[in-house]
Structure 1
Amino acid sequence: MTSQTPNNSEVIIHVQDLSIYYSAFRAVKNVNLEILRNKITAIIGPSGCGKSTVLRSFNRMNDFVQGAHIEGKILFHGQDIYDPAIDPVQVRQMIGMVFQRPNPFPKSIYENIAWGARINGYKGNMDDLVENTLQSAALWDEVKNDLKKSALALSGGQQQRLCIARALAVKPEIILMDEPCSALDPIATLKIEDLMRTLSEKYTIIIVTHNMQQAGRASDYTAFFTMDDDRAGLMVEYGDTSQIFTRPRDKRTEDYITGRFG
């Protein structure tokens, strides 16, 4: 495994010797990775190599899978998020997630934003929070006159931006995105990519994608994963996106980028 991390960038997540298991099966092994603040990091690789498993480990979503457990450490601001003293609910508040398919609540547009903030104890002006969050997700101008309308009436791209707004409403530091554009058309996809770039000024974004063009366009850093002979996922190479796509150091990376396998 090769890596490249600029010395002048702040590391917000430090992954140390991470292996992830589903019962006895080791799905991911020996990952070492540094995620940089206010950057977009893409995780790429063939199906089944553990990309989403690694992503979900960053906010303990794998806790909901029976038999899932880890070895190693994931440090967020230097604190091990798997320490028994750490509340996973607080982890998920600080490290939010947007899923592959838009999953708005069957509530109004307004309540999709307000509900999550409310249960997390928000005491400020809810109208202002809803407006500011929808503006941050580049959705306000499209829905400001229809806030009472069901979120399920929105287009797929609008629903995904609403889900991003919902994640932003609880004031996270990191946003995880698991193939957020796979169910969207090209125009909606470009809107999400533009939004990611804007959001990275305030947030750290980690995205799993099968779309090589998307990774090349939208990310600052890219981690390439593949599988070993035991079908365990491993990180082959990590570095600046332009380097990964134009001067990969490992032939496995080059073969995947150029479409020779995967």
Structure 2
Amino acid sequence: MHEVTYALDHLTLRAIESGQGQPETIIALHGWLDNASSFNELRKHLTNFHFVALDLAGHGHSDHRPPGDTYYIWENVSDLLSLMDLHGYNKVTLLGHSMGASVAVLFAALFPERVNRLYMIEGMGPPVYDEKKLPQLMAEAILKQKRLKRRTLRPYPDLESAIKVRMTSRWPVSRQSAEWLVERGVKHDETGYSWCSDHRLMLPSINRMTEKQVMSCLKAVKAPVRLYLGLDGIDMSDAQARMDQLEKLDVIRLPGNHHLHMDAEPALRIATDINNTLV
């Protein structure tokens, strides 16, 4: 396992890579405000694959987007295409968690010839705006963007404080998982420890896709899809219409919350399923 750098034209992305030389490449895309270390537990059981866990732009060790650029989800799709073209990944398997699952499914829809299989954990498409509330929500997003320029975040005095905060966030994770995320996700200077992630990631998107657009993308996916949901994860009760758009979908429900892939038992079950289906 080692770090690899992808120098794209507009920014540099970094990833944790293992299994180089294996014939099948899996590119893993993490969730919002997480980083490549979120796949450390899964990686243990996927040794037969060239496994590339990417830090998306603005996260982990990857570059932040330049001033004036956006963090719209489709920018990650463009980054992924550039990365694959640059390093000769003609066709890969995508594994995405939450926001990363949204990036993966959009990529699979736009470039179906480049995706072998699609594995999604706790996510199956980007959030959308309520069209009736669009002007209000866009206005609020613009105002929040302006306020963020005046906001400063207080650093943590030590690593332990950051670890405890990460363990007890909205979706709790184990201490080991929190340590992995913090190790890759914080920077240290004379003021203390602060997150590496770009503070602009905290902003709501000014522009989002509509539900009809998301549905159209889901319908365009040609690769077989496995969707893993935690029994205590996000509420997917209203997602059946999205599921119906996917021609080749299997849904697997496992013990755990939104970060079930970071816990030993569900991670082993997910990895076992990938090993059994990705042949």
TM range (shorter): under 0.3
TM-score, normalisation: structure 2: 0.25
Q: Which structure carries more strand by proportion?
A: 1
**Bigger relative contact order, structure 1 or 2, given CA contacts below 8 A and separation 6+?**
1
